[in-house]
Amino acid sequence: MDAAHIFRGNQRVGHVDPADRGLAYGDGLFETMQVHHGEIPWLDAHLQRLQRGAQRLAIALPDEALLRAEIAAMCANRDAAVLKLVVTRGVGGRGYAPPLHSDPTWILSLHDAPPPMQPLDIVWCETVLADQPALAGIKHCNRLEQVLARREVVAAGADEGLMRDTSGNVISATSANLFIHDGDGWCTPKVDRSGVAGICRDWLLRHVPVRETVLDRDAVQRSSAIFLCNAVRGILPVRRLDAREWPASVHIHALQRQLADAHPGFM
């Protein structure tokens, strides 16, 4: 981590309070953003998703003008980096019931950009995603399911892992959304009951013909092309899923070119 700035409400502070509800309960939200030549390609989209999550959880957000100013200052003069924003409900007493009013805690941290990735080798994870429509789509801070699944990925020596819900439907990778080509066109799983509505996923839904649907394991294995995507790395082709292998896809390459034309940070 290169730098971290911590705020309580609109005041910068030196530490996170031990009574912060983000620490105690994961009572908060976060965004992970690519920095390219001092700019964040999808900053507006990230802040809009943050707002949707805050409305869902009834969490107060920091002043947007101050937040944008702090983001701009932290990212200035950085050619390539990752900026993480965490917003929690703030300090609260012991027990699950949230305080009626609290100043949010928010943390901005700057990290080195990840190295480029080749086509991915991925695996199926045994850890499943809980069915919880109240939290589906938003990027809340309780990510223990992904932590457990990521341990499986590391143990398998893979790049990523696909996760299913309790009904066996395929939802996403541990930190990326999933797209498959079924021969007729692109499909991506619905995230209305579990999973995260990713920023890159939303961009693809707006710019590419894509069907949001229910996908099972067999549909993924039969697909003619498969890729993962997120807001830091963009579009990542999958080369292998367990024993199944896919050749390089002209369909995926065309999407990568389209994304790079719109946002040079993903070249």
DSSP 3-state of 93: coil
- What is the C-alpha to C-alpha distance for residues 220 and 218, in angstroms, rounded to an integer? 5
CATH classification of the domain holding 108: 3.30.470.10
Q: In this structure, are residues 187 and 213 in contact, taking their beta carbons and an 8 Å threshold? A: yes
Report H helices in the chain: 21-25, 43-57, 64-75, 144-156, 199-207, 217-222, 250-262
Any idea which residue has 């499943």 for tokens? 128
* Residues 18-48 as b or e (16 or more Cβ within 10 Å = b): eebbbbbbebbbbbbbbbbeeebbbbebbbe
Total domain count, the chain: 2
DSSP 3-state of 114: coil
Boundary of a domain, candidates 48, 78, 112: 112
- What domain range is 187 assigned to? 120-266
pLDDT in tens, the chain (267 residues): 677 999 999 999 999 999 999 999 999 999 999 999 999 999 999 999 999 999 999 999 999 999 999 999 999 989 999 999 999 999 988 899 999 889 999 999 999 999 888 899 999 999 999 999 999 999 999 999 999 999 999 999 999 999 999 999 999 999 999 999 998 899 999 999 999 999 999 999 999 999 999 999 999 999 999 999 999 999 999 999 989 999 999 999 999 999 999 999 998
Find residue 95's DSSP bridge partners.
none
User: pTM for the whole thing?
Assistant: 0.95
Boundary of a domain, candidates 112, 142, 175: 112
